[in-house]
Structure formats: C-alpha cells, structure tokens
Amino acid sequence: MQADKELDVRGMSCPLPILKTKKSLADMVSGQVLRIISTDVGSMGDIQAFSKQTGHELISAAQEGSEYTFFLRKK
C-alpha cells in the first residue's frame, strides 16, 4: 500500500506512539495515508482505539515478528 507519510515509532512505548501519530496526522490533509511502524505490543489496541475515537480510517493493521504496521487515512 502507498503511504503519503511514514512514522517510525519503533522502540517507543505508550503513550508516545499515539502522541506522535496524532502530531503526524495534524500535518496532513484529509484523505492522505499515514504508515506507522511500531514495536510497542500495546500499539495494536491503541491504534484501533485511536481510530475509533478520532474518526481516522484504519485501513490495515498487521504484525510481522515484533513489528506492527498500520495504515491510517486522515478523515
């Protein structure tokens, strides 16, 4: 999947991945896609909850080994 912006939050733990995601989305325009790469085990639930609370579309969420990759479309 093609992303307009990438956010690497590997090695960071809650709440930093969500805070950095929020900041990255603020710099984007509606419809753009943000790719987030995380190693925080809680990020799967956190990103899903963030998406529901904010209305940004969670396009995909995947785990490969110890890394989690998310694609969020800005509302």
Cα–Cα distance measured from residue 13 to residue 26, given in angstroms and rounded to the nearest whole number: 21
Question: For 44, which DSSP code?
Answer: H
- Residue numbers annotated as active site: 14
Angle between helices 43-54 and 16-26 (to 10 degrees): 40
